[in-house]
Amino acid sequence: MQADQIFQEIEGHRHKIAHAEAVYAESKTSNRPEGTRPTHRTGFLGLIGKKVDTLEYCNEKIKELLPKLEDEQKSTLSEKQQRAAFVFFNSRAAAASASQTLHAQMFDEWTVTEAPEPRAVIWTNLPRKIYDRQTRQTVVYLIVFVTVVFYMIPITAISAVTTLDKLREKLPFLKVVVDQPLLKTVLQAYLPQIALIVFLALLPTLLVFLSKSEGIPSQSHVVRASSGKYFYFIVFNVFIGYAIGSSLFSALQKVIENPTGIVTTLGSRLPGNATFFLTFVALKFFVGYGLELSRLVPLIIFHLKRKYLCKTEDEVRAAWAPGDLGYNTRVPNDLLIVTLVMCYSVIAPLILPFGVAYFALGWLIAKNQVLRVYVPSYESNGRMWPHMHTRIIAALMIYQATMLGIIGLKKFYYSAILTPLLAISLIFAYTCHTRFYPAFAKTPLEVASQQLKETPNMSTIYTAYIPPCLKPEKLEDVEVFEDAQSRTTSRAPSF
């Protein structure tokens, strides 16, 4: 909305003023008591355009924008009705019942859901129509599919790095690398894994942006959506893509000579990739948890920001803030380890101790970090667990399919007795989905009818759901809010 754009612009100018005042104060010395007033350019990223005094320019902009913001607030509240609204109840049971009721004969006329926590609301996505969201979702899924497919090219290139000795005869320029034992050992043992981890670290930001573009109105839902996309991406590219790509690359000549024997060839070559994935899990275990527990990287980034960028106390606090746990990357990466350990347990059982150690130590470290380090940005009431449970079952089924393929290729004639495992897993997944998942998506009336130990303040709840761009400094002084506030605070509710 227009009010939000003006509000964000004003907040940006206020931040620049605070930063410029701190820089100006630092420039005042005994030799130059007048100091040097900060300046900047008004063009793109402050690199081009007219050079202006930062303090004067930002103050003038704020004075110019404040009347516009006030007019836009009044116009938005009195005239610009949106297609979405929050409804407040003085009974939790009534709210739960209303959120699970069909309110119109045509489902797209009234789409009612439980409201997310105020901190998790994405205000710009609230007014979107259901068909708009469905269209956006289809487009985003198409983009994600294309991204998954085309990411296979660099992943396959990374997998080829581990086969330097096999390329020695075909590509003579690699002889210089292969003939140096120390460099060859480093490249084969550590570089591919590190390159893969760094490469994958660039993807989550794109997936979060795409998930927001779907029109999802809740930040917690965006995190779950991007987490699911990231999981299927890394399973397809890191596990399936790397394993198949590396196997085909190492046995390309045999596949060309005998295309019909590709399944047998892959079955015999897949165990050769176990060393890579074992090293990958070990690297995540030793290096990943070491960095997580020491928080060395955030510490270095903080000191760099504090030395070169932070000039005010607010900027120092923002640089020091640890943020939340980062579910959109942590959960998919842990589920990838689950998939790798289970699938390669039938190929290279040595990976099992590393997997057990990864999750045993990870449980202790994650518990410590959650309780003592990270600060949650919002609460989603456990809605991440069904998301995780579904992917764990998917990993289990991938493991079962891999196990059946490996045992079948080993000419074990009684392997058919294991075939029902996939059907049993599907039945179990369906049972969980129909029996347990609905209680996470909707609040059961049995739970909503229970009395709370403390009665929440309705005025506080109501105020929390006012967008920052429309929230005045003193709510009771604003005429447009008086009527709504009197209706919500005149009773003694048991929310």
Q: What are the pLDDT digits (tens) for 304-358? A: 988 888 888 888 888 888 888 889 888 998 999 999 899 888 888 888 998 999 9
How is residue 172 written in tokens? 């003579």
**C-alpha atoms less than 13 angstroms from C-alpha of 69 in its C-beta half-sphere:** 19
- Type of residue numbered 185: T
Q: Which residues contact 45 (CB under 8 A, 6 or more apart)?
A: none
Q: In percent, how much of the chain has pLDDT > 90? A: 15
User: CB of 214 within 8 A of CB of 137?
Assistant: yes
Say yes or no to pLDDT of 486 above 50. Answer: no
How is residue 100 written in tokens? 């699970």
pLDDT at 264: 55
User: CB of 366 within 8 A of CB of 245?
Assistant: no
Quickly count helices (H) and strands (E) in the chain.
26, 2
Say yes or no to pLDDT of 445 above 70. Answer: yes
Q: Compute CA distances 73 → 10, 80, 470, whole Å.
A: 14, 10, 6
DSSP 218: B
Say yes or no to pLDDT of 495 above 60. Answer: no
| Residue whose tokens read 């470290």 | 365
pLDDT at 140: 93
pLDDT at 81: 67
The stretch 234-247 carries a mean pLDDT of 70
Say yes or no to pLDDT of 189 above 80. Answer: no
Return the H-helix or E-strand segment holding 414. none
pTM score of the predicted model: 0.78
Cα 175 → chain centroid: 42
Of 31-40, 184-193, 458-467, the range with the highest mean pLDDT is 458-467
22 vs 175: which has the higher pLDDT: 22
pLDDT at 199: 65
Report how far residue 389's alpha carbon sits from residue 404's, in angstroms, rounded to the nearest whole number. 23
pLDDT band, residue 478 (cuts 50/70/90): very low
237 vs 87: which has the higher pLDDT: 87
Say yes or no to pLDDT of 261 above 60. Answer: no
pLDDT band, residue 182 (cuts 50/70/90): low
Sign of CA dihedral 110, 113, 119, 121: negative
Q: Compute CA distances 135 → 109, 129, 139, 243, whole Å.
A: 17, 10, 6, 35
Q: In percent, how much of the chain has pLDDT > 70? A: 77
**Which residue, among 362, 197, 191, has the nearest Cα to 286 in the 3D structure?**
362
Say yes or no to pLDDT of 6 above 90. Answer: no
pLDDT tens-digit profile of 358-407? 999 999 999 999 999 999 888 888 889 999 999 999 999 888 888 887 78
pLDDT band, residue 222 (cuts 50/70/90): very high
Report the chain's mean pLDDT, rounded to a whole number. 79
How is residue 219 written in tokens? 């930040």
How is residue 180 written in tokens? 């140096």
User: CB of 329 within 8 A of CB of 204?
Assistant: yes
- Type of residue numbered 29: T
Cα 308 → chain centroid: 28
Q: Compute CA distances 62 → 13, 35, 313, 471, 477, whole Å.
A: 7, 24, 22, 17, 22
pLDDT band, residue 25 (cuts 50/70/90): confident
- Strand 39-41 versus strand 51-53 pairing type: antiparallel
Report how far residue 16's alpha carbon sits from residue 56's, in angstroms, rounded to the nearest whole number. 11
The stretch 204-219 carries a mean pLDDT of 90
pLDDT at 457: 81
Q: Is 266 exposed, middle or buried (0-12, 13-18, 19+ CB in 10 A)?
A: middle
Report how far residue 8's alpha carbon sits from residue 4's, in angstroms, rounded to the nearest whole number. 6
DSSP result, 21-88: HHHHHHH--SS-TT----EEESSGGGTSS-EEEHHHHHHHHHHHHHHHHHHHHHHHHHT---S-----
